[in-house]
Amino acid sequence: MSRYNSKETEAKWQAVWDERGSFVAHEDPDRPKYYVLEMFPYPSGRLHVGHARNYAIGDMVARYKRARGFNVLHPMGWDAFGLPAENAAIANKVHPATWTYENIATMRAQLKTLGLAYDWTREIATCAPEYYRHEQKIFLDFLKAGLAYRKESWVNWDPVENTVLANEQVIDGRGWRSGAPVEKRKLSQWFLKITRYADELLDAIGTLDRWPDKVRTMQEKWIGKSSGLRFTFDLADDPEKIEVFTTRPDTLFGASFVAVSPNHPLAARLAASNPGLAAFIAECNRIGTSEAAIETAEKLGFDTGLKAIHPFVEGRTVPVHVANFVLMEYGTGAIFGCPAHDQRDLDFARKYGLPVLPVVVPDGADPAAFEVGTEAYVGPGHLANSAFLDGMEVEAAKRAVIERMEAAGKGEGTTIYRLRDWGVSRQRYWGCPIPVIHCDKCGIVPVPERDLPVELPTDVSFDQPGNPLDHHPTWKHTVCPSCGGEARRETDTFDTFFESSWYFARFCSPHDTTAAFERGAADYWLPVDQYIGGVEHAVLHLLYSRFFTRALKDCGYLAVAEPFEGLMTQGMVTHATYRDASGQWLYPEEVEQRDGLTVKRGTGEAVEAGRLEKMSKSKKNVVGLEHIIDNYGADTMRLLLLSDSPPERDLEWTESGIDGAWRYVARVWRLITEPVVPLAPAGAPAPAEISGKGQAVRRIVHKTIDGFGDDVEKFRFNKAVARVRELTNALAELDGKGAGEDWVLREGYETLVKLIGPMMPHLGEELWQGLGHSTLLTDSPWPEADPALVVDESVVVAVQVNGKLRAQIPLPRDAAEDAAREAALADANVQRAMDGKPVRKLVYVPNRIVNVVV
Ligand code: ANZ
Ligand code: ZN
């Protein structure tokens, strides 16, 4: 028996696919298209098996759709700009480009060993000027369309990385990479006007019915639409007014303070003559502007001494505080606080001794006695202590207050969004240069299109902290395209989410030198039919891409509004973690099991076996791709990655799991390469006679085809694998001796090979060839399930003798008359009723009844 040699076989078929250009995609108007895309990787170094899950899923879908007759686009590329390259440059004195392209080469080679059905002719790297020149052009078009603008804004400053961080890069008040406490600074920055699309982006979530609910909910929350009232408070001894935004206008009579953000202009004005307040503001700025930072910090306020006049209660005033929990970037940057009905306001009121006056009373409670203790009341009820609102329900009271404010000209009902415009400026080298020029005379001048791309200089130094583009001796000095005078280039580069916001469109015509993408190609391929990636991108990358697609549409680049029709977010691959006595992480191959204990390999030292965690270099709980591919082959790994749990759930990688997958591979190999009887020739017509066992196996074959397709369409890959394993068992049990079984075995084996093809394509090709085919499995159509064999196999048929029901017998569906007659007459009850008389007449209605007349 020849053992399956995965190494040779896999290399062989990869070369064949490559030579034939099997996966090179062309637009073909005569075939339905299918664009499947896995989120492209950042070239960080090496891939481990945890990364491979994403690609195994994508390839399953791509190969399956291809076999079903779709014209499949399945490309791969590199999200190649980003901080790690610069950090490597600083740490190891290697140029970011060198580091990046070396990693790309390593990872490309690794991916190729997986046998993925990519159209490698479409490979792109976003750090190439051939790519980013187009995004500079896109930016100029956005600028013209008013979708890009510059403004002074508070930014999160990472004092270690020396760069501005997006809010989402600040985690618990610290930089996401450096872990350093983030500071606030004011800088002039470039922004993209994503807020112009807030409503559209929100509404269209309803059309994304092939997206996971949790992702849709996260996007909804991120956009954060709130309806309420915007109105102004007059101040008692100051001409200034304070405009606030509230979603609870009904609680206005319970207001006990007004608070403004530390970055509110009023706070700045007062601080100029109030050192205590100035110090307080400085303290607030130390914790960063992110919501997360503010949420976790202790709520602090500073009483300005000013009094705000209650708009509806003659003579009532409330103190004006500067409070650290009021965000300048949300609403108006100022609020009124109603402690009885808002927990944050309540905590604040208790701390600063402010009144707590309930104005919404739960139904059934006595308005005179209802009190709020340590928990704010946020439920429904009727208004009390609220003049003209008394007795109303909350919603009616909201409307009444809005109406009054509008009538009095003091405010208006309004809708606001949590979504902020997207700050795209980064003070970094390894990113796409923002194509504008600063001229003292002309201001900001866009780089003329003929001068694109603005390329990064290659001779940069990372010896100084900060932005190497800014330190470069010559790069930023240029002439103004408008007046010809001396001018400076913009030294900010784009946030790297810029590149990933349109790469899926670039894949439609990746080598077009004249445009970001060719319109016809984009119209043909877009939207992406199936996008696959990690749920960590649920908000930003996906929202930015949705925004870009709309913006590109408005700028005439393409026709679709939504980039990704279907989205699947796969779970993580986890592995146990290990530490030695000194707390050092250990690689899985550094430990072994001895007498039921986990010990250090070789030394036998005790090892602490820790939790299952996402595979990551930092905890060393990774299993290298090479190790698995060398020992088991890519197909075995792919099988395990698809079979062990539903794709959206986490999957635990274990030694026993990969062993089990390998045993299955070996079993299929043996089964098909060593058939129990010589198989019927390929393509032979079905024999006239097939044994009962053979027919039963055929039913399993066709039911498997049917169920497998359904499972794949619904991403139940683990179930699909389970079906294929059952089919394997059924085929193994057929001894081939009965009538037509050699033909049944051929049909069964060929089906099995076709079904495993999208998961284990190398094994599939090898077996396909072994079954005597000269075409590639990759080019073979998907098997069709015979509907007659898929329906339930047996039906209950009634047997009557001289008009009286005598028996109910099981028969194969659509059984022939001969078989039905034979079975009916063999039944004991029927024989008793016939009492030895000969049959005079027999009428058979298939699947229903056998009528015997004696
Ligand atoms: C008075 C009030 C009474 C409020 C009450 C709530 C409950 P969402 O739903 O998230 O939009 N708010 C408004 N602007 C703010 C800012 N810039 N920073 C921090 N908080 C702000 O929340 C809207 C509510 O959050 C607003 O309604 C306001 O407090 C507060 F019983 O006004 B409310
Ligand atoms: Zn000029």
List, run by run, the mean pLDDT of 10-residue segments along the chain (854 residues): 86 98 97 97 92 96 98 98 89 94 97 98 98 98 98 85 72 82 87 97 97 96 96 95 98 98 95 96 75 75 97 95 93 97 95 96 91 94 96 97 96 95 92 98 97 96 84 96 97 96 98 96 98 90 98 97 97 90 86 86 85 86 90 97 92 93 97 96 94 94 96 96 97 95 98 98 98 96 91 83 91 86 92 92 92 94
Which of 202, 226, 245, 357 to mutate for ligand 1's pocket (most ligand atoms within 8 Å of CB)? 245
Which residue shows structure tokens 């029901």?
805
CA of 781 to the centre of ligand 2 (A): 63
Instruction: Spell out the SS3 assignment of 224-279.
Output: CEEEEEEEEEEECCCCCEEEEEECCHHHHHHCCEEEECCCCHHHHHHHCCCHHHHH
Q: What per-residue confidence (pLDDT) applies to 1?
A: 46
For residue 446, the ligand closest to its alpha carbon is: 2
C-alpha distances out from residue 682 to 674, 679, 698, 746, Å: 16, 8, 16, 7
> DSSP assignment, residue 353?
T
Return the residue whose CA atom lies nearest to atom 32 of ligand 1: 246
Which of 222, 232, 248 to mutate for ligand 1's pocket (most ligand atoms within 8 Å of CB)? 248
Tokens of 776: 């590639």
CA of 456 to the centre of ligand 2 (A): 22
Q: How many other β-carbons are positioned within 10 Å of the β-carbon of residue 180?
A: 14
CA of 247 to the centre of ligand 1 (A): 6
> DSSP assignment, residue 799?
E
Number of alpha carbons in the 13 Å side-chain half-sphere of residue 645: 14
Q: What per-residue confidence (pLDDT) applies to 595?
A: 82
For residue 484, the ligand closest to its alpha carbon is: 2
Atom of ligand 1 nearest to the CA of 247: 27
Number of alpha carbons in the 13 Å side-chain half-sphere of residue 726: 17
Return the residue whose CA atom lies nearest to atom 28 of ligand 1: 246
Q: What per-residue confidence (pLDDT) applies to 168?
A: 59
Return the residue whose CA atom lies nearest to atom 22 of ligand 1: 247
Q: What per-residue confidence (pLDDT) applies to 349?
A: 95
Atom of ligand 1 nearest to the CA of 325: 19
CA of 458 to the centre of ligand 2 (A): 27
CA of 477 to the centre of ligand 2 (A): 13
Tokens of 457: 């200089």
Return the residue whose CA atom lies nearest to atom 10 of ligand 1: 226
123-169, pLDDT tens digit by residue? 999 999 999 999 999 999 999 999 999 999 878 888 887 777 766 56
DSSP letters, 399-463, are: HHHHHHHHHHTSEEEEEEES---EE-EE--SSSPBP-EEEETTTEEEEPPGGG---PPPS----S
Give the whole-angstrom CA distance, residue 568 versus residue 564: 10
Q: What per-residue confidence (pLDDT) applies to 292?
A: 64
Return the residue whose CA atom lies nearest to atom 1 of ligand 1: 246
Return the residue whose CA atom lies nearest to atom 20 of ligand 1: 326
Atom of ligand 1 nearest to the CA of 329: 17
CA of 514 to the centre of ligand 2 (A): 28
**Contact status, residue 648 vs residue 715, Cβ threshold 8 Å:** yes
652-705, pLDDT tens digit by residue? 999 999 999 999 999 999 999 999 999 999 999 999 999 999 999 999 999 999
CA of 366 to the centre of ligand 1 (A): 27
For residue 221, the ligand closest to its alpha carbon is: 1
Return the residue whose CA atom lies nearest to atom 9 of ligand 1: 226
For residue 417, the ligand closest to its alpha carbon is: 1
For residue 325, the ligand closest to its alpha carbon is: 1
CA of 246 to the centre of ligand 1 (A): 5
Tokens of 139: 């930016």
CA of 488 to the centre of ligand 2 (A): 10
Give the whole-angstrom CA distance, residue 303 versus residue 351: 12
For residue 415, the ligand closest to its alpha carbon is: 1
CA of 416 to the centre of ligand 1 (A): 11
Binding-site residue numbers for ATP are 617
Tokens of 25: 């995609």
Binding-site residue numbers are 617
CA of 245 to the centre of ligand 1 (A): 7
Which of 154, 247, 332 to mutate for ligand 1's pocket (most ligand atoms within 8 Å of CB)? 247
Which of 221, 263, 300, 330 to mutate for ligand 1's pocket (most ligand atoms within 8 Å of CB)? 330
CA of 479 to the centre of ligand 2 (A): 8
With CA atoms as reference, report the closest residue to 283 among 324, 336, 229: 324
**Contact status, residue 35 vs residue 65, Cβ threshold 8 Å:** no
Ligand 1 pocket residues where CB is under 6 Å: 226, 245-248, 251, 325-327, 330-331, 333, 335-336, 338, 341-342
Q: What per-residue confidence (pLDDT) applies to 295?
A: 72
Give the whole-angstrom CA distance, residue 735 versus residue 697: 11
* DSSP SS3 for 172: coil
**Contact status, residue 361 vs residue 397, Cβ threshold 8 Å:** no
Return the residue whose CA atom lies nearest to atom 23 of ligand 1: 247
Return the residue whose CA atom lies nearest to atom 26 of ligand 1: 246
Q: What per-residue confidence (pLDDT) applies to 560?
A: 97
Return the residue whose CA atom lies nearest to atom 19 of ligand 1: 326
Helices 741-756, 717-733: axis angle to 10 degrees equals 160
Return the residue whose CA atom lies nearest to atom 8 of ligand 1: 226
Helices 692-713, 741-756: axis angle to 10 degrees equals 10
Give the whole-angstrom CA distance, residue 70 versus residue 804: 56
Return the residue whose CA atom lies nearest to atom 2 of ligand 1: 248
Q: What per-residue confidence (pLDDT) applies to 571?
A: 92
For residue 249, the ligand closest to its alpha carbon is: 1
Atom of ligand 1 nearest to the CA of 226: 11
ipTM of the complex: 0.96
CA of 296 to the centre of ligand 2 (A): 47
Atom of ligand 1 nearest to the CA of 330: 17
Return the residue whose CA atom lies nearest to atom 25 of ligand 1: 246
**Contact status, residue 725 vs residue 664, Cβ threshold 8 Å:** yes
Give the whole-angstrom CA distance, residue 647 versus residue 397: 48
CA of 448 to the centre of ligand 2 (A): 13
Which of 251, 310, 335 to mutate for ligand 1's pocket (most ligand atoms within 8 Å of CB)? 335
Give the whole-angstrom CA distance, residue 535 versus residue 553: 26
Which of 342, 354, 405 to mutate for ligand 1's pocket (most ligand atoms within 8 Å of CB)? 342
